[in-house]
Amino acid sequence: TYDEFVAFHREHYHPGNARIFLYGNIPAPEQLAFLQEHFLSRFEKGTLVPAIPMQPRWQAPRRLVQRVPGEEEAANSASVTLNWLLFPAVDMEKCLSMEILSEILLGTDGSPLQRLLLESGLGEDLSGSSGYESEIKETVFSVGLRGTAADAEQEVEKCVEDALKKIIADGLEADLVEGTLRRFEFRLRELGSGGNVGLHLMRRAYQGWMHGAAPWDTLAIADVFKRVRDRISKDSSFLTGFIQEYLLDNPHRLTVSIVPDAAKADEDMASMAQRIAQIEESLTEADRQRIIQDEKDLHAFQQAPDSAEAEASLPKLCREDVPRGIRRIN
């Protein structure tokens, strides 16, 4: 109901559940006072939303086949992706190691896992979700192929497993590892590639801050990178050990197959129509009249013009506010 929606918003979108990040050469006390006066002071103390619990670990891999609306004549239009649940996002040393490993395995045309999967001929390209996701409570590594046959699930699983085993047996090319480490080091020093530096730092801080760590734990990671680099330099099997422990030996794996089906859209529409019919049958005459009146009230609200006071509250940019001079940057 609408009242439940409002109650949910009031509880979850409360400043008590927010994280405030300020960036720049600014007078912090003044900014904090502004926030207190114009934002925080307008709310009463709320109830903190419970922390997201850790996922119970699986004892064996699982599979999911999801049918989606699609063209029947498209023979190789499915996709198969293997997804592993790894470790908490607050474990920066493991997370950074996995980011580096993911870049080595999938980041370039010469990356060994990407090359072996594409050479298999089982699909047209890597699936769009392939890579390492580190901005959730427990991180996930995914890899797979799109443009596969509808029944290619087991073949893709075996191909990925065999490719990972081959990479461990052959070892990772030293030049590829070193090149990846240098790119990561450059990114850390560059603080974002052409984007807003403040937003880049905020995202990095939130990676652990949202899940119980201090913001600086994931913000200042130069020391973490140095430790990871040293471990990789001293132990040539460090990264391949990650492949063995967190991928091949990890039973918490879900293989997701997305299979287009021309009949799925019609089935969904029929299911929705049946559900609507069931709801309609359960309505009393008073319920029907209330729905009709609610629709009329909504339409009237949407068509009503804004008050002069409401329009005046909107910020406006006039021509006079735009400087005529051109700022030249040498």
Reported as a single tens digit per residue, the pLDDT across 187-237 is 887 765 556 888 888 988 888 888 888 888 888 888 899 999 999 999 989
Mean pLDDT, residues 306-320 taken together: 88
pLDDT above 70: residue 21:
yes
Q: For residues 274 and 18, which has the higher predicted lDDT (pLDDT)?
A: 274
Nearest of 113, 116, 99, 75 to residue 262 by alpha carbon? 75
Burial 249-266 (b: 16+ CB within 10 A, else e): ebebbbbbbbbbbeeeee
What are the CA-CA distances from residue 60 to residues 154, 248, 286 (Å)?
15, 12, 52
- Look at residue 30 in the predicted model and tell me its pLDDT: 93
* Residues β-bridged to residue 85: 140
Summarised one tens digit per residue, pLDDT across range 73-129 is 567 889 999 999 999 998 999 999 999 999 999 998 889 999 999 999 999 999 999
Paired tokens of 3: 């009242």
* Positive or negative: CA dihedral 10, 14, 16, 17: positive
Q: Which CATH superfamily is domain 62-261 in?
A: Metalloenzyme, LuxS/M16 peptidase-like (3.30.830.10)
- Look at residue 129 in the predicted model and tell me its pLDDT: 92
State the pLDDT confidence band at 47, using cuts at 50, 70 and 90. Answer: confident
Summarised one tens digit per residue, pLDDT across range 56-79 is 999 999 999 998 887 765 678 899
Domain-wise residue ranges, the chain:
2-42, 62-261
- Of the ranges 33-42, 176-185, 240-249, the best mean pLDDT one: 240-249
Q: What are φ and ψ of residue 82, in 5° steps?
A: -95, 130
What gap in Å lies between CA 130 and CA 163, rounded to an integer?
15
What SS3 string covers 213-264? CCHHHHHCCHHHHHHHHHHHHHCCCHHHHHHHHHHHCCCCEEEEEEEEECCH
Q: What are φ and ψ of residue 259, in 5° steps?
A: -120, 115
* Residues β-bridged to residue 247: none
- Look at residue 193 in the predicted model and tell me its pLDDT: 55
Nearest of 71, 30, 53 to residue 262 by alpha carbon? 71
Contact residues for 102 (Cβ-Cβ < 8 A; gap 6+): 131, 132, 141
Mean pLDDT, residues 159-174 taken together: 96
Is residue 227 exposed (0-12), middle (13-18) or buried (19+ Cβ within 10 Å)? middle
Q: For residues 36 and 190, which has the higher predicted lDDT (pLDDT)?
A: 36
pLDDT above 70: residue 326:
yes
Question: What does pLDDT average to over the chain?
Answer: 90
